[in-house]
Amino acid sequence: MAATTQERTEAHAHLKFARMGPRKLRRVADAVRGKSVKEALALLKFTPVYAAAVIEKLLRSAVANAENNHDMSTDDLYIKRIMVDGGPGGKFTKRLDPRAQGRAAFKRKRMSHVTITVANKSNKEIATRAISSSKELPTKKGTPRAQRREASGESKK
């Protein structure tokens, strides 16, 4: 049986147990999703949010993985997928918060797991070309009222 070598077109980087809530990280992740790596790094560098520094470091790791492990060119990489999932945020990292009349409440210190996938732009262009060449689907509501009138032969009163 001959071993075939398949060229990789994606590279991944994972960050687990980030000491930050998923909502804060998702806000930054949504800003860079689908952008080229150069554009995303420039955006993250000048974003004044702490979560941007965390995602920038992870993005640089994904680019290094692509270059060193998979022999991919870093010039034509884009962010194919970025996912932010919640980590263990309730059971392990609770802190007590003193309340009125001797009571106490828990502060939940949330954690996150972040995964970034980078891929070649050539794959992105192929995928967008396939989507744009497909036929447009009709809307759920159908045609506008004027076109329905024309089709049925009615005139506006």
Domains of the chain: 10-132 (3.90.470.10)
> What region, left, alpha or beta, does residue 135 occupy, with left being phi > 0 and alpha being psi -120 to 50 degrees?
beta
DSSP 88-136: S-SSS-EEEEE-GGG-EEEEE---EEEEEEEEEHHHHHHHHHHHHHSPP
CA dist., res. 40 & res. 58, Å (int): 12
Dihedral sign, CA of 100, 104, 105, 106? Answer: positive
Instruction: Looking at mean pLDDT, say which of 67-71, 136-140, 153-157 comes out highest.
Output: 67-71
Range from 12-21, 84-93, 140-149 carrying the lowest mean pLDDT: 140-149
Residue 36, pLDDT score = 94
pLDDT band at 108 (very low <50, low <70, confident <90, very high): confident
Residue 73, pLDDT score = 86
Average of per-residue pLDDT across 12-38:
93
pLDDT band at 148 (very low <50, low <70, confident <90, very high): low
Q: At what angle do helices 50-69 and 37-45 cross, to 10 degrees?
A: 150
Residue 103, pLDDT score = 92
Does residue 155 carry a pLDDT above 90?
no
Range from 17-21, 72-76, 91-95 carrying the lowest mean pLDDT: 91-95
